[in-house]
Amino acid sequence: MSKRVALEASFATAEAARMADVDVVAAYPITPQTHVPERLAEMVANGELKAAYIPVESEHSAMSACLGAAAVGARTFTATAGQGLELMHEVVYVASSMRYPVVMAICNRALSAPLSVWCDHSDAMAVRDTGWIQVFCQNNQEAFDMTLWAFRVGEDPKVLFPVMIHFDGFTLSHVTEPMILPEQSEVDTFLPKFQYPFALNPDKPMTHGAFGLPEIYSETKIAQEVAFRKSKDVAIQGFKEFGDIFGRYYHLVESYRTEDAKTLLLTMGSFTETAKIVIDRKRDNGEMVGLVSLRLWRPFPFEEFRQAVKNAETLIVFDRCISSGGPGGPVSSEVRAALYDEKEKPRVVSFIGGLGGRDMSLSDFEYVIERGNEIAEKGSEELFETVGVRGKVTGIRG
């Protein structure tokens, strides 16, 4: 029988890694991710998890060690946040290009300066184009579920890509919530043993990571890109299988009360749950509003996203990251690009807020929806508007 427990997202993801029976964990502690490697190290020390725990001297080394482990066919897990992900950046690209299905939890954190350990999505957006499959979580149950799903999808022989699970630092990583832990037998049914087809083995010599001269580099990258986009099918299949076994069905794009909605709000991560309360209130008031949230961020689910927003007049996108000097938040610019060629499309309004751990209250989201509708009607002088910044913000021009 599955059981109901109370866990913070850090422990939830560590528990999922344990139940996935990972072979290797290589991680370097950084706030707010620290509880993840701490708990895993504890499990290994207590004999609850039979794995090699590699204490490394930096995140760059953490990811490098993970690559080595994955190369011999080990199920490999790590976690980081903010600056740690930045320090790891170079090797993050190598993981996806060499097709090692490492799974990594990210406790999302703002980037320095000013130094901040609190949440926003700047770290996630900085690795947007690294070729990792990426999902966002709204709560701790999802942090657990997505971790299991990540192994299932990443290790699929049709996929072989690394997977990042984003969940908000502190808001989820350190907040205890009720959640359901499945039976080990259910996990074993969902997650077959990792069979890496190209595991390094002295009896069968081969070369991983050969360098690419100009006559082969383009072909290599295109082969990678085509395979990466195809991984979406396995992502969908993974959610279906997950639902069939565990009873929770997930979608690439999550829609909440979107039926007949004229205005849609788009959020990512834990704020989505706050925003849902505002949607409920407005619906009770008879307002035709709904919410969409991108669960799968990479590869971007174009079809599913267009389908989810096609009947709306206004789409208000809320970003927790600034794309400096760019068109708005990273999510809003991608969303605009995804809709650009459509004949019928909602007007996209871009908001940025929740930076560096700034909270977003119910009334803040009420403001975002009301002001968003106003901008859709009358326009705004600014490319994007901000929420909760003291002093009227002007000068966000193209």
List of residues contacting another protein (CB under 8 A): 97-100, 160, 197-198, 205-208, 210, 212-213, 215-216, 218-220, 222-224, 226-227
Using CA atoms, how far apart are residues 181 and 361, in angstroms rounded to an integer? Answer: 30
- Residue pair 301/253 in contact by the 8 Å Cβ criterion: yes
- Residue pair 282/298 in contact by the 8 Å Cβ criterion: no
Considering only CA atoms, which of 142, 123, 127 is closest in space to residue 293?
Answer: 142
Quick one: 221 or 310, whose CB is closer to another protein?
221
Task: Kindly state the smallest distance separating residue 155's Cβ from another protein, in Å.
Answer: 13
Quick one: 91 or 348, whose CB is closer to another protein?
91
Task: Kindly state the smallest distance separating residue 185's Cβ from another protein, in Å.
Answer: 31
Task: Kindly state the smallest distance separating residue 98's Cβ from another protein, in Å.
Answer: 5
The values of phi and psi at residue 141, to 5°, are -55, -45
Task: Kindly state the smallest distance separating residue 220's Cβ from another protein, in Å.
Answer: 5
Using CA atoms, how far apart are residues 307 and 320, in angstroms rounded to an integer? Answer: 24
- Residue pair 338/331 in contact by the 8 Å Cβ criterion: no
Quick one: 131 or 329, whose CB is closer to another protein?
131
DSSP 269-288: TTHHHHHHHHHHHHHHTT--
- Residue pair 170/161 in contact by the 8 Å Cβ criterion: no
Task: Kindly state the smallest distance separating residue 207's Cβ from another protein, in Å.
Answer: 4
Tokens of 337: 């690009």
Task: Kindly state the smallest distance separating residue 196's Cβ from another protein, in Å.
Answer: 10
Quick one: 216 or 393, whose CB is closer to another protein?
216
Quick one: 176 or 201, whose CB is closer to another protein?
201
Quick one: 71 or 175, whose CB is closer to another protein?
71
Cβ atoms within 10 Å of 227's Cβ, excluding its own: 15
Task: Report CA-CA distances (Å) from 81 to 167, 198, 226, 335.
Answer: 10, 30, 29, 25
What is residue 293's three-state secondary structure? Answer: strand
Tokens of 74: 């080990």
Task: Kindly state the smallest distance separating residue 161's Cβ from another protein, in Å.
Answer: 10
Task: Kindly state the smallest distance separating residue 216's Cβ from another protein, in Å.
Answer: 5
Tokens of 18: 């344990």
Tokens of 207: 């070369």
Beta bridge partners of 256: 291
Task: Kindly state the smallest distance separating residue 101's Cβ from another protein, in Å.
Answer: 11
Quick one: 178 or 212, whose CB is closer to another protein?
212
* The amino acid at 345: K
The values of phi and psi at residue 254, to 5°, are -95, 130
Quick one: 112 or 218, whose CB is closer to another protein?
218
* The amino acid at 294: L
Using CA atoms, how far apart are residues 320 and 125, in angstroms rounded to an integer? Answer: 9
Using CA atoms, how far apart are residues 269 and 353, in angstroms rounded to an integer? Answer: 13
Task: Kindly state the smallest distance separating residue 193's Cβ from another protein, in Å.
Answer: 19
